[in-house]
Structure 1
Amino acid sequence: MGTPIIQIRNLMKTYKLGGETVRALNDVSIEIDKGEFLAIIGPSGSGKSTLMNMIGCLDLPESGTYLLDGKDIGKMNDNQLAVIRNQKIGFIFQNFNLLTKLSALENVELPLLYAGIPAKERREKSLESLEKVGLRERAGHLPTQLSGGQQQRVAIARALAGNPSILLADEPTGALDSKTSQEILYLIQELNELGHTIILITHDLTIAQQAKRMVSIQDGQLQENGGELIGNMAIY
């Protein structure tokens, strides 16, 4: 701990909406250390999805700087950003985003296929990832043959397959019941203990409190430790 993996300074992002200019991110600055488990909490429209897209190298800021492992993301072209996403960041989405015609193993293999990893190594790494999430024995099953919780575990295994330093989890329990949500959160905590940096995006205070550090975002502005903002966000 103590070594920043992410350094964001004075990030700005605006959108045009119905003739108005909306500041999705308004002078956002944050440092995230290697091995941290951080929750970013905010209501719908607060800017948290925009911030997630920035951190995940899916979008670039209008101004400000974003250093990932010391590299300036704002100066990269699309190909360089794609390489960074593939090597450094594992994405976990609310709706799993699994391909229904592919088995659990084939879904996990996909990012490795895009990275050009040979078939034998790809298979080994993917089975290892499924083992980490407790689903190796379901490798041959299609998503439709798995429960919601198992599908999210496959999605987590896919995020882990390339051994990224950062796991970016966007409402990872949003489509799950409370018992399954808790199981997925325990798994995410275990992955953090194994050394992965976890950034959890959520609107739910109960979920955010599972993290070791929490920041809140509202109207595109970030506030450390939640502050008063969280008091206004506890009910949805």
Structure 2
Amino acid sequence: MSTSGTLIEVSDMSHGYTMAGERMTILKNLSFTIDFGEFVAIIGPSGSGKSTLMNMLGCLDVSDTGSYLLDGQEIRKLSDNKLAAIRNEKIGFIFQSFNLLPKLSAVENVELPLVYRGISHRQRRQLAEDALTKVGLGDRMHHRPAELSGGQQQRVAIARAMAGSPPILLADEPTGALDTRTGKEVMGMIRQLNEQGHTIILITHDLEIAEQANRIIRIQDGNLVEDRRKA
């Protein structure tokens, strides 16, 4: 994968579903590009389509029509196995609900995506320990999620997302379950990851959070209604 130029190219993306015999269109002919190293916030109210768009960008689903090129590769044409491989290698996910496995320690949770890459135990343990140290949890590596605060759990989730150095970090309401102070700390970490070269795509309904990005894409009723880069 290259490290400059266009990373994501979305063209005329539409998506919907059928409920009770009626077709509901969620995304309507969206088109935009995201370059390597950008920090983009996708903002919109509940029901606007931003979560559906996140699923498309994260290769968790594919659109009904249009095109999605990720580093020049057409995602809509790939098999489920290929999509899973791309998610594992190219996208780090940070979720509002942390999505940590309760029976695993922090370091084991961070290691998990690396297991699926076939990385040796010694190497993935080192990568996981390095990532946890970077987010300030070097002394909490062997604690389980229940033994950690919400902010610490989100730090584990950030460490898990960044451990394999994926080019894209996709953060879905990463501060939604946190208090204001902890939320600011987490956003500080995300900005730092962007400064280190990660492309950040942040999904949020909160304008104050979105304003911390360098670019805001606003979705409303499935339409792209604003695409604003900060000066």
The reply to whether TM is greater than 0.5 is: yes
Would the aligned equivalents of 1:23 and 1:219 in 2 still touch at CA under 8 Å?
A: no
Please name the residue that 1:24 is paired with: 26
Q: How many residues align?
A: 227
Query: For residues 122 and 215 of structure 1, what CA distance do their matches in structure 2 show?
Result: 35
1:138 aligns to what SS in structure 2? coil
Query: For residues 22 and 183 of structure 2, what CA distance do their matches in structure 1 show?
Result: 38
TM-score (norm 2): 0.95
Shift of 1:133: 1.0
Post-superposition CA distance 1:94-130 (Å, at most 9, x none): 0000011110000000000111111000101101111
Please name the residue that 2:48 is paired with: 46
1:116-195 aligned within 5 A? 116-195=118-197
Post-superposition CA distance 1:107-157 (Å, at most 9, x none): 000000111111000101101111221112210111111110000000010
Shift of 1:220: 0.6
Post-superposition CA distance 1:63-116 (Å, at most 9, x none): 100000111101100111011000000000000000111100000000001111
Please name the residue that 2:107 is paired with: 105
1:60 aligns to what SS in structure 2? coil
Query: For residues 48 and 20 of structure 2, what CA distance do their matches in structure 1 show?
Result: 18
Please name the residue that 1:234 is paired with: none
Counterpart of 2:100 in structure 1: which amino acid?
L
Counterpart of 1:186 in structure 2: which amino acid?
G
Please name the residue that 1:77 is paired with: 79
Query: For residues 187 and 148 of structure 1, what CA distance do their matches in structure 2 show?
Result: 15
Shift of 1:2: 6.4
1:137 aligns to what SS in structure 2? coil
TM-score (norm 1): 0.93
Task: Pick closer, same or farther for the CA change 1:2–1:160 going to 2, 3 Å.
Answer: closer
- State the percentage of identical aligned residues: 61
- Note the aligned Cα RMSD (angstroms): 1.4
Counterpart of 1:103 in structure 2: which amino acid?
S
Please name the residue that 1:205 is paired with: 207
Please name the residue that 1:65 is paired with: 67
Post-superposition CA distance 1:195-215 (Å, at most 9, x none): 000000001111111101001
Query: For residues 160 and 95 of structure 1, what CA distance do their matches in structure 2 show?
Result: 17
1:186 aligns to what SS in structure 2? helix
Query: For residues 217 and 59 of structure 1, what CA distance do their matches in structure 2 show?
Result: 18
Query: For residues 218 and 20 of structure 1, what CA distance do their matches in structure 2 show?
Result: 21
Query: For residues 203 and 25 of structure 2, what CA distance do their matches in structure 1 show?
Result: 19
Counterpart of 1:57 in structure 2: which amino acid?
C
Q: 1:219 aligns with which of 221, 224, 228?
A: 221
Query: For residues 205 and 131 of structure 2, what CA distance do their matches in structure 1 show?
Result: 28
Query: For residues 224 and 24 of structure 2, what CA distance do their matches in structure 1 show?
Result: 16
